[in-house]
A and B are shown apart, each in its own frame.
Chain A
């Protein structure tokens, strides 16, 4: 038997094609997305994130079936239900319902995106190739942003086209002709905001778990704060029905604005502001309690853009070639 391998295993130089040194960010983003797709949790959370739309479609289908059996002359439950529905609010509800799941997906995909690279000195690999900090940071950000956008967009668009095909006569499109562009804007801003936050936190740590725990902690603490503000707002406005005579309007407005002072609060606030709605009850269920009015679009936009920029700036400062000891 021959003692040497059949194949020639000696080193040969590569002189094949090397593509343009631009667009390295896409290689980084692509790798991140493929790694995310391998995680089962991402698929599970993605499935749950569209839950509100699924429920809404089920309710519409159920009432549609019921209305088919109503004898002529009797009140039609579908018409009654559709009269209560504000279509654009359903997208705010769907987006709001998905927030927790988007957080979970962002944590699974993004918490370790830079933190684990810090731990493994991977920056030394990236930055010794024809990539720079811009490529790396944008690639990592895009690798979180795109999956979040797709996950939030699929059920939203599905519901939009379902509504457009089935309930056009019920004012689905005529209620707000700009609903689709507004929806796209909301999804882009929401996904971008979440991606910026998680990438910023990830860059601050050497372990993905740590970054994820701190980000999740901040998310829930601020969420608790908004719940306090909601309780306060409900208290001083009697569930949004009338003002407490002792409370000045400026205080009510302030509490109403502070209600949006959390991660998902900002996202929901900006969604309300873009759609131009104060919100309505979930699933069209009759309720005397009103939602907190929409905040100022510019304030929300300034906060979201400002916080995103701050997190990206932190990440930018944290990304540097690891010391070469010598």
Chain B
């Protein structure tokens, strides 16, 4: 009961604190004192999450798909990553109530997954990976029907169906039978039926599957648009890291049914020592020499690009780079904080031992 209330409070009222948490990229340390205070005043103290999963175990016969999984899915757009068979699908199924956990607890939007599946699904939109539609219906009928199934009054559902179809770029084709749609259009209508009832949480399973590059761009734009500033939280499961990087703010990496990594993408991509990447107009050995004399470590990335590492803050490193350039007399074309690709971070995370993530990333 307390779990349910807690998540409900945080989901409803705690958006400010949630924003702070996300911008800092750090998870809140739940010390006993803080927990005690939080129980007194949950709105003020507890972190914002749309789904709270604790020690969840899901089994298919003897196969353990989720193994004591504990994770808080934060507000905003979250990427769900993991190799095949990692348990991403099972996690989505569990959230939807398709499978029953063997043990552990989970609440979604403040509702318990064991006993309040209907309430959860009324507030969730699912865009499945496979093509799915109701046979024999036009797009408007299908989307309005999806809205009615979610509990919308018929008139509202029809009005809203026109709205979301327009939004998803299917306004011109809304009276066509869905079975005549192209792959890209089918992806869009899956999104339309998922958002027609104004869900609080949208689950997207491989939303760019089967799309051509232009269609993929458009779909990602749509997903990014609904997940930012529209009060809609999104969990996007994909094996395409560039897609996740494009739309998500944070990621959850699962392997073998356990949490590997959770946090903001920008933190995940951060490199230890906060190096800076410098691009000069032209190659300069003199610049590298001066940097060395100033105490910086450097490595050449390409003909005119260098990665500079110091023991200072990124701002101070930047100033040092500019000082070196001024001294040598070379023009700096670009200066940015160095980061690795999400793919590198992901590969590193799934290759490392399991860590608990209290306190942030532990790759």
Chain A residues within 8 Å of B, Cβ to Cβ: 7, 9-21, 24, 27-28, 31, 35, 112, 116-117, 119-122, 124-132, 321-326
> Closest residue to B196 on the A side, CB-wise?
A14
Interface string of B57-85 (1 = CB under 8 A from A): 00000000000000000000000000010
> A326 touching B122 by the CB < 8 A rule?
no
Interface residues of B in 234-253 (CB under 8 A from A): 237
Chain B 191-250 residues near chain A, CB threshold 8 A: 193-198, 205-206, 225-226, 230-232, 237
Contact residue among A11, A35, A125, A321 (Cβ-Cβ distance under 8 Å from B133): A125
Verify B206–A18 contact, CB threshold 8 A.
Answer: no
Q: Report whether over half of chain A's contact residues are helix, strand or loop; otherwise say mixed.
A: loop
Q: Does B347 contact A (CB under 8 A)?
A: no
Interface assignment of B153: CB less than 8 Å from any CB of chain A: yes
Q: Which residues of B contact A (CB under 8 A)?
A: 84, 88-89, 92-93, 96, 98, 117-119, 121-122, 124-126, 128-137, 145-146, 148-153, 156, 160, 163-164, 166-167, 179, 193-198, 205-206, 225-226, 230-232, 237
Give B89 Cβ to nearest chain A Cβ, in Å. 4
5 closest Cβ pairs, A-B complex: A14-B198, A326-B89, A121-B132, A128-B126, A18-B151
Taking a contact as CB atoms under 8 Å apart, the answer to whether B149 and A126 are in contact is: yes
Whether A28 contacts B149 by the Cβ 8 Å rule is: yes
A129 touches B135 (CB 8 A): no
B122–A112 contact, CB under 8 A? no
Question: What A residues does B197 contact at CB under 8 A?
Answer: 14, 18
Contact with B98, one of A11, A125, A127 (Cβ below 8 angstroms):
A127
Contact of A324 among B93, B136, B225 (CB under 8 A): B93
Does A130 contact B133, Cβ atoms closer than 8 Å? no
Of the candidates B125, B150, B230, the one whose C-beta lies within 8 Å of that of A11 is B230
Knowing A119-B135, A124-B130, A325-B130 are in contact, say whether A130-B156 is a contact too (CB < 8 A). no
Tell me the bound Cα distance from A127 to B124 in angstroms: 11
Using A9-B166, A12-B163, A326-B206 as known contacts, say yes or no to A35 and B136 having CB atoms under 8 A apart: yes
21 residue pairs of the A-B complex, CB under 8 angstroms, read A10-B225, A11-B164, A11-B225, A13-B198, A13-B230, A15-B198, A17-B152, A121-B131, A121-B133, A124-B132, A128-B126, A129-B121, A129-B149, A130-B122, A130-B151, A131-B149, A324-B92, A324-B93, A326-B88, A326-B89, A326-B129
> Is the beta-carbon distance between B129 and A324 smaller than 8 angstroms?
yes
Choose among B84, B96, B153, B237 the residue that contacts A128 (Cβ–Cβ < 8 A).
Answer: B96
- B131 close to A120 (CB less than 8 A): yes
